[in-house]
Amino acid sequence: MQHLFRLVLVLYPVEFQAEYGRAQVQMFLDNLRAEYRARGKTKALRLSLEMVMDGIWAALAEQWGVLKQDLRYA
């Protein structure tokens, strides 16, 4: 799942990846481990999929914001 989350980070702007990428991956892993210990494998898998989907939506929203800004300047 970590590889999938890292793949999602590719959708973010390069500056975001450079500044926050490692921290985002570490947060993902910490949350996943805590969920696994607290609720088991199935709940941890569900949480990881939710976090991946949230990351995708956030990345798309960020890219949309950048595109709108670029269009305004154009």
Q: Is 59 helix (H, G, I), strand (E, B) or coil?
A: helix
Question: Can you point out the beta strands (E) in 12-71?
Answer: none
Q: Whole-model pTM? A: 0.78
d(CA 13, CA 31): 24
Instruction: Give tens-digit pLDDT for 26-69.
Output: 999 999 999 999 999 999 999 999 999 999 999 999 889 888 99
